Structure 1
Amino acid sequence: MKPTLLILAAGMGSRYGSMKQVDGFGPNGETIIDYSIYDAIKAGFGKVSFIIREEFLDDFKAIFEPKLKGKVETDYIFQTYDLKPFGIDETIERAKPWGTAHAVLASRDQVHEPFCVINADDFYGYDAFKKMADFLTTEAADDRYSLIGYQIDRTLSDHGSVSRGVCQVEDGNMVAINERLKVYFKEDGSVVYEDNGQEVPLPSNTRVSMNFWGFTPAIFEQSLDLFKKFVAQNKNNPKAEFFIPLVADELIKNNTATFKVIPTAEKWFGVTYKEDKPIVENNIAELVENGTYPANLWE
């Protein structure tokens, strides 16, 4: 059974100022999602499921159905504010949905095979998809999950500091993930993060999570109670989000599952700031020039 690619695309990109999931970056207006899907198909994924808000359905279908027809199966999953499907009988007003792990949980009725989760607006590279496909087809189990570990120095923006989930790795498995705020390059090219106004150095090969996770459908049952508890604790906190690392942390702590950190040397890039757009366009242009991708992705 071929694994499924689950794309988190329900956020609108508040910092970016537009719907960056469908913004064009390639020579023929290809979106970042296009490159992820292209790599995933090549790596052996059998289905692409988009997690979106229901009001985006027609836009997404118009953009992706014509080019993916006959190449890969597609499916659409809606992330909503309705808590009843999760056995929570109350209505909580929020401006944003409940976060990435809630998005994964929202797919539980439509995903029945090992799957990976990625962000819509991040470029991950073929090596990452191939390694994840191999893991999902040969190694994944209900107590054995994974994430792709990027080198921190291959993930930073030149246009400001970023936050990164820094993985603590022992024997190839993640034992903890620490959110480091304000991570950036110094002028000498070394990497630091700020902690209470102090610069703390990070080795350039430190592994970070860019939200590229591998699971089996057992994750739905494993995270449901955690989500119910999270909602109960945060019903008056409209900004609280139920993130995948929170779930991973719980599962590791109570010995429910291990998370293999799969290293890649791929360069990650994404659009956090408007200024990142020309950089992404240049990166993709280079990859087209060196033959990694065809100039017209879907011809």
Structure 2
Amino acid sequence: MQPTLLILAAGMASRYGSLKQIQAFGPSGETIIDYSIYDAIRAGFGKIVFIIRENFATEFKEIFEPKLKGRVATDYVFQNMDSFTSGYQIPADRTKPWGTAHAILCAKDAINEPFAVINADDFYGADAFVKMAAFLKGDAKADIYSVVGYELGKTVSEHGSVSRGVCAVDGAGFLSAINERTKIYTDNGQIVYEEADGSKHPLGADTPVSMNFWGFHPSVFDMSQSLFNEFLEKNGTNPKSEFFIPIVADEFIRRGIGKVKVLPTTAKWFGVTYKEDAPGVQASLSELVKNGAYPDNLWK
């Protein structure tokens, strides 16, 4: 069975104001999502499921359906505030969506096979999709999930600090912990993360970090539902609280339900954390096209 790719795109409208402003980076106006889908199809994914907000579904489909028709199966899932909340009374002051792990839960009825999850506006590189597809086709089980481990040095921005999930990996290549470091930057040629008290700690350039490229077995849906119920119980009244994917991965390991395999990649990740990053992303893509990694028009 071919795996599915789940693309987290529910936050896009709020970032861009309108989808018409989705940034074109490729030589023929391709967005970053286009490259991810192209890499996924090449690696053997059979279906693309987009998680979007209902109010921009029409606009979204108008952009992606013409490109993908006949190339890969597509489906659309909406992340609504009351989805999968099991009757929980949502506080009136809550405007923020419930987070990335809730977004995955919203796809429960659309996915029955092993699947990968990515962010819509990050470029992950062909090697990462090949490794993830191989994992999903052969190794994904109810007690074995995965995450792509990028080399930290290939994910930092020269325009400011970034937030990364720093992975601790055991001798067998499984995740033993994931620590969200919210302020990572280069300081005099050395990558460091800064704590709330201002203290700095060095990190090696080859430290594996998660860029939210996960591989799951469909068993994750039931587990996420029960963890989400617990989350609402504890944090539902906090208007800023969010139910993130690493929370699920962490509990999966901590409660002894299963293990998360770290899939190392040499691919260079890039994304637009700062608007100053955009020209660099464009230059990197031009370089890849020039070297023959991608055609100059993905969907021609």
- Name the TM tier (shorter chain): over 0.9
Aligned positions of 1:280-299 closer than 5 A: 280-299=281-300
3-state secondary structure, aligned to 2:275: coil
1:144-155 to structure 2, matched below 5 A, reads 144-155=144-155
Q: Do the aligned residues in 2 keep the contact of 1:20 with 1:121 (CA within 8 Å)?
A: no
Partner residue in 1 for 2:258: 257
Between 54-63 and 145-154, report the one with greater CA deviation.
54-63
Which residue does the alignment assign to 1:221?
222
Tell me, in whole angstroms, the C-alpha distance in 2 between the residues paired with 1:158 and 1:244. Answer: 27
What is residue 104 of structure 1 aligned with on the other side? 104
* Aligned-partner residue type, residue 286 of structure 1: E
Identity %: 61
Residue of structure 1 equivalent to 2:234? 233
State the match for 1:191 in structure 2: 191
Show CA shifts across 1:88-115 (max 9, x none): 3423342221000000000001111100
Q: For the Cα contact (< 8 Å) 1:148–1:210, is it kept in 2?
A: yes
The one-letter code of the counterpart of 1:116 is: A
CA contact (8 A) 2:16 2:22 kept: no
Residue 60 of structure 1: CA displacement? 1.2
**Residue 268 of structure 1, CA deviation:** 0.3
Helix, strand or coil at the partner of 2:147: strand
Question: What does residue range 97-176 of structure 1 map to in structure 2 within 5 Å?
Answer: 97-170=97-170, 171-176=172-177
Distance 2:20 2:66 in 1: 20
Contact 2:90/2:236 (8 A) holds in 1: no
Asked if the contact 1:88/1:228 (under 8 Å) is kept, the reply is no
1:236 Cα offset (Å)? 1.8
Aligned to 2:89: 90
Q: CA deviation at 1:17?
A: 7.1
Q: CA deviation at 1:176?
A: 0.6
CA gap 1:108/1:266 in 2 versus in 1, 3 angstroms: same
After TM superposition, what 4+ stretches of structure 1 lie above 4 angstroms from structure 2? 13-21
Is residue 13–residue 56 contact of structure 2 (8 Å, CA) maintained in 1?
no
- Separation in structure 1 between the aligned mates of residue 12 and residue 284 of structure 2, nearest angstrom: 23
- Does the aligned pair in 1 maintain the 2:19–2:59 contact within 8 Å? no
Instruction: Report the counterpart of residue 49 of structure 2 in structure 1.
Output: 49
Structure 2: gaps (5+ residues): none
- Report if aligned partners of 1:125, 1:266 keep a CA contact under 8 Å in 2: yes
Give the SS at the match of 1:6. strand
Q: Tell me the distance in 1 between the aligned counterparts of 2:147 and 2:166.
A: 12
CA drift of 1:86 comes to 3.9
Q: CA deviation at 1:166?
A: 0.2
Is the Cα contact below 8 Å between 1:9 and 1:52 reproduced in 2?
Answer: yes
SS in 2 for 1:249: helix
Please report how far the alpha carbon of residue 22 of structure 1 lies from its aligned counterpart in structure 2 after TM superposition: 2.9
Q: Report the CA distance shift for 1:15/1:51 in structure 2 as closer, same or farther (over 3 A).
A: closer
Alignment partners' CA distance in 1, 2:57 and 2:96? 18
Query: What root-mean-square deviation, in Å, do the aligned CA atoms of Structure 1 and Structure 2 show?
Result: 1.6
Q: Alpha-carbon deviation of 1:20? A: 9.2
2:101 alignment partner, SS class: helix
Q: Residue 28 of structure 1 aligns to a residue in which SS?
A: coil
Q: Distance in 2 between matches of 1:224 and 1:115?
A: 17
Q: Which amino acid aligns with 1:91?
A: I
Secondary structure, in 3 states, of the residue corresponding to 1:275? Answer: helix
1:61 alignment partner in structure 2? 61
Aligned partners of 1:73, 1:140: CA distance in 2, in Å? 21
Structure 2 CA distance for partners of 1:102 and 1:145, relative to 1, 3 Å: same
Cα distance, 1:275–1:194 mapped onto 2, change above 3 Å:
same
Q: Which runs of 5+ in 1 are unaligned?
A: none
Letter paired with 1:164: R
Q: CA deviation at 1:257?
A: 1.4
Deviation string 1:23-53 (CA, Å, 9 cap, x unpaired) is 2111111010000000000000000000000
Give the distance between the partners of 1:20 and 1:10, measured in 2 at CA: 15
CA shift for structure 1 position 82: 1.1
Question: Residues 7 and 265 of structure 1: is their aligned pair in 2 closer, same or farther, counting only changes over 3 Å?
Answer: same
Which shifted more, 134-143 or 176-185?
A: 176-185
Structure 2 length-normalised TM: 0.95
* Residue in 2 that maps onto 1:205: 206
Structure 2 Cα separation of the partners of residues 20 and 172 of structure 1: 42
